[in-house]
Structure 1
Amino acid sequence: MKRRRLRPDEEELWRKVVSNTERLHPEKPLKPQDFVTTPQMKPRKKATFEAIPKSLTIKPQAPSTSAYLSPTIAEQVGGQPVQMDRKAFDQLKRGKLRPEGKLDLHGMTLERAHLALTRFILNAQSGGKRLVLIVTGKGKQRDDGGPIPVRFGVLRHQVPQWLSMPPLAPAVLQVTQAHVRHGGGGAYYVYLRKLR
């Protein structure tokens, strides 16, 4: 790295700094070449800008107001690949298929709800049922105003995870949010595999 010479105004500023400070090693004499210098910068070429065609301009988007970084439950469940027959799945999404069984988890604790869900799904599959409805409810809004956002609808968030883990995962073919006539965002359709 090449050293450059200090400009007169920089030398004057340096001398003021030196006069007001106490040296760490007073036994060593101070020399002008000991001054801190910066490397010489090469001048840059001027940048030229051309007009951007309107077709290439990016339109500003509204900032996201969601406090959660993870996707919503509807996005998680809706983002799963379709495992069942496409025609039946479309009818299911439109609420045209009638569930053969229903489990309502309102008011249950997580432990009781997990046991009830496991028992219900395994019994429904062994009984030859294909489509069941699990009602979780949407949950109560309980934000205490603290700095950390609180999720509401604990069962609504937990049920899809339980259905994707053993012992229920081998029994479940498809999970999707229920149609409005069957509970909408507070319920799930669970399409079960046939027993072999």
Structure 2
Amino acid sequence: MSRSASKPLSLEDRILWNKVARTAEPLKGKSLDDLALPDDDTMDELKRLVAPRSPETAPTLPGQKPAVAPKAHPTRRIDKPTHSKLARGRLAIEGRVDLHGLTQSEAHGLLMSFLSRAHAEGLRHVLVITGKGASLGSEGVLRKVLPQWLATPPMSGFVSGIDEASRKHGGGGAFYIRIRRHRSLA
């Protein structure tokens, strides 16, 4: 399948690809300057998504109305039966996002985009991988700050529960997140 016939990468995929591309060694005879830059406004859009902003504003895609998050609720733990079903694979993890190696601002933008899309698509349970932290004895910056992000607007409007993932799904370096259901306007 040719690249032109495939569907375009999502913003999350582009962020991940740019992160990987920065760590790759160019082929012999090529330099990073020889690589073509994206001809669209992808980089501007990515910078806009990961730029520091007030917590009340949610990122929007071009041509999309700004998302208005539901009222904030304190985030609570996922109940034990649901956690057990997720850990054993009896309840599907419908989406996952890996925040390894991202800065806090990049991770915040990617997580906000991921959660708003998961909520819009009606997903119920997702996995967020933060990693455990690189330093010996360190808890990891993203691991520590994730629950704080999820407890504040606008993310708190998309999340109804959070719990540490089982060892099978990453243990201390990952979290199960239950996404709020859409409320009907009837």
Scaled to the shorter chain, the TM-score interval is 0.5 to 0.7
Give the C-alpha shift of residue 171 in structure 1. 1.2
Q: What residue is the counterpart of 1:133 in the other structure? A: 127
Shift of 1:152: 3.8
Question: What 5-or-longer segments of structure 1 have no aligned partner?
Answer: 1-79, 144-150
SS in 2 for 1:189: strand
Q: Please point out which of 97, 106, 110 is paired with 2:104.
A: 110
Q: Which residue of 2 aligns with 1:191?
A: 178
Separation in structure 2 between the aligned mates of residue 126 and residue 81 of structure 1, nearest angstrom: 21
Task: Write out per-residue CA displacement over residues 23-71 of structure 1, whole angstroms, 9 at most, x where no aligned residue.
Answer: xxxxxxxxxxxxxxxxxxxxxxxxxxxxxxxxxxxxxxxxxxxxxxxxx
Larger radius of gyration: 1
Q: Compute the TM-score of the two structures, normalised by the length of structure 1.
A: 0.51
Match of 1:176 in 2: 163
CA distance in 2, matches of 1:106, 1:194: 28
Q: CA RMSD in A?
A: 2.1
Distance change (3 Å), C-alpha of 1:119 and 1:141: same
Task: Give unmatched runs, 5+ long, in structure 2.
Answer: 1-74
- TM-score for the superposition, normalised by structure 2: 0.53
Larger helix share, 1 or 2: 2
Distance 1:177 1:95, change over 3 A: farther
Aligned to 2:52: none
Matched to 1:194, the amino acid is R
Deviations 1:6-36 (A, max 9, x none): xxxxxxxxxxxxxxxxxxxxxxxxxxxxxxx
Query: How far 1:94 sits from its partner (Å)?
Result: 4.6
Q: Give the counterpart of 2:142 among 141, 155, 177.
A: 155
Q: Could you tell me how far 1:166 is from its partner in structure 2? A: 0.4
Task: Measure how far apart 1:160 and its partner are.
Answer: 1.1
Residue number in structure 2 paired with 1:123: 117
User: Which amino acid letter does the alignment assign opposite residue 166 of structure 2?
Assistant: H
CA deviation vs aligned residue, 1:73-111 (integer Å, no higher than 9, x gap): xxxxxxx85566x63343235554221001000110000
> What is the number of equivalent residue pairs in this alignment?
109
Return the structure number with greater relative CO, CA threshold 8 A, min gap 6.
2
The percent identity for this pair of structures is: 41
Does the CA-based 8 Å contact 1:95-1:181 persist in structure 2? no
Kindly provide the amino acid, as one letter, of the partner of residue 159 in structure 2: V
CA separation of 1:195 and 1:107: change in aligned 2, threshold 3 A: same
Amino acid of the structure 2 residue aligned with 1:88:
T
Q: Is the 8 A contact 2:164 2:174 kept in 1?
A: yes
